[in-house]
Structure 1
Amino acid sequence: MKKTALVTGASAGIGKATAIYLAQNGYYVYGAARRLEKMQDLIPYGIKPMSLDVTNEESLKACVSQIISEVGCIDILVNSAGLGSYGALEDVPMQEARNLIDINLFGTARLIQLVLPQMRENKFGKIVNLSSVGGKVYFPMGSWYHASKHAIEGLSDCLRVEVKQFGIDVIVIEPGATKSEMIEIGAADLMRVSGNTPYQNLAKSIAKTYSSMNAVEPIVIAKLIKKGIEAKQPKARYVGGDMVRPILFMRRILSDKMFDKMILSQMK
């Protein structure tokens, strides 16, 4: 029997690639995002696009309710919806910061709350939370993004232990730089926020770094997600992308001061 997957953030990037890849491999997929018009190309793959705003309670409830009424269950939840907002902490308006946390953390958490009762009843479920290498390390000008991804790591660890007793697995995916709208607009967003402030020199250096990133195709991460949800005993975390493992290794072995120096050495 086909498993049903709900993939958020399916209008672009990792979310879209994951929705397509799962559909191509025998899953019945609902692709959800705010921009319904950006998901019409999913229909030929047998994917059902759904309008979803993860910051809106009624939208979240309606999405889950519709899927359960149509197919009876949500076996797999892939929380791929996310936002990157960049700039020095001093410069980022709190409204923008709250919006990022609302999307990256609270939207993920609320959707998990809504699917868990049915997963517990079925004694089966796979919850995939998209974190980032930025959930383990840090880079200047990304304070709110890193805060949200560090929070996803902690949330997922607690949740994994809580729901294991019900036959539900929680899997964290930690991609490195991945080709997406977030990468494309990251440098421009950074310069908008901090390009004309006392942090402008650092902002220019980091924007240059963004433009030279060796980002992987989203399908690389989609394959990682499929590997995780199909493993009999999935790992707590799956890592993918260019230079991610070396970066995580350096974070483990270096002191905070040494890691700071390593980061700053790249911002010239």
Structure 2
Amino acid sequence: MPTTRTVLITGASSGIGRITALQLLKRGWTVHAAARRVEAMEDLRGRGAVVHALDITDSDSRQALSDAVAEHGGGLDALVNNAGYGDVGPLETMPLDAARAMFEVNVFGLMGLTQALLPAMRSRGQGRIVNISSIAGRFVTPGAGWYGASKFAVEALSDALRMELQSFGVKVVVIEPGLIRTGFEAVSQPALAAGGDDPVWGRMMQNVATAWAEGFRQGSDPDVVAACIERALTEADPSPRYRCGSSSESALIQRFIPTRLWDAMVRRRMIGD
């Protein structure tokens, strides 16, 4: 990669994306920061970032961003696909439209932007794509089935991309954060509260809300993930996956526990039986 490296970070208006942008600006990267809320990125602009509006669910918006980055010159060395969100609810009652909306951002938007930017990377014979997944991309918990499904999809797509692009010099990395204090639980609170009133699923959703509150209180700061992303961007031969943050080790431990035992452990904590 050249001395002055260029990265595009989506979802840069808050949380992990914002902290990563700040970290890479300090390291001398040229940072393109993209999000729906441009006004929330003014501090990044003040520190030297190139700020873009992006509705990742809109193909025209994705293409406009791709064109703007290309016009900036120098080529794009790295893409950090960080934009995403989570919605919660029992699988029986969560509206499919809500699930589709989540997939539009977490999966189809991510891939749509990647498709727009890949040809230039491939033609240059170098580049790095870092997809932000979650430990929810390795296992799911009650009340978060659709969110987990979207992150499972990110994991699968990343694996396929990594193999497809290897011969073109483009490396693909997945980051699997654990419980990170980004306000995720606060955003999910209305859905958790509504689920708690359900006559069938209320007790489960109340237990889920309690478990999440306890977990996120002990969560890691976003700069832990930012450091992990920087490592994935700068190591000459990056690992296909990096886990980081509170409870991220559970994604490794779960693989060695029999499914019935794992189910019983999770049910005891989050369903109460």
Match for residue 39 of structure 1 among 38, 41, 49: 41
Match of 2:179 in 1: 177
In the alignment, the residues of structure 2 paired with residue 64 and residue 194 of structure 1 have an alpha-carbon distance, to the nearest angstrom, of 42
- The amino acid across from 1:251 in the alignment is Q
Match for residue 96 of structure 2 among 89, 94, 97: 94
Correspondence list, 1:214-253, <5 A: 214-245=218-249, 247-253=250-256
Q: Deviations over 1:171-205 (max 9, x none)?
A: 00000011113222223322224532410000001
Q: Deviations over 1:27-51 (max 9, x none)?
A: 1001101111111121222112210
Correspondence list, 1:1-268, <5 A: 1-193=3-195, 195-213=197-215, 214-245=218-249, 247-267=250-270, 268=272
Contact 2:23 2:226 in 1 (8 A): yes
| SS of equivalent residue, structure 2 residue 179 | coil
Offset, 1:250:
2.9
- The amino acid across from 2:174 in the alignment is V
248-257 or 213-222, larger mean C-alpha shift: 248-257
How many residue pairs get aligned? The number is 267
Contact 2:8 2:78 in 1 (8 A): yes
After TM superposition, the score normalised by the length of structure 2 is: 0.95
In the alignment, the residues of structure 1 paired with residue 67 and residue 227 of structure 2 have an alpha-carbon distance, to the nearest angstrom, of 28
After TM superposition, the score normalised by the length of structure 1 is: 0.96
Change (3 A) 1:43 1:240: same
- The amino acid across from 1:49 in the alignment is V
Ranges in structure 1 where 5+ consecutive residues have no aligned partner = none
Contact 1:8 1:78 in 2 (8 A): yes
Offset, 1:71:
2.1
Identity of aligned residues (%): 35
Q: Deviations over 1:109-167 (max 9, x none)?
A: 11111111000111110000000001001100001100000011110001000001011
Offset, 1:248:
2.1
- The amino acid across from 2:122 in the alignment is R
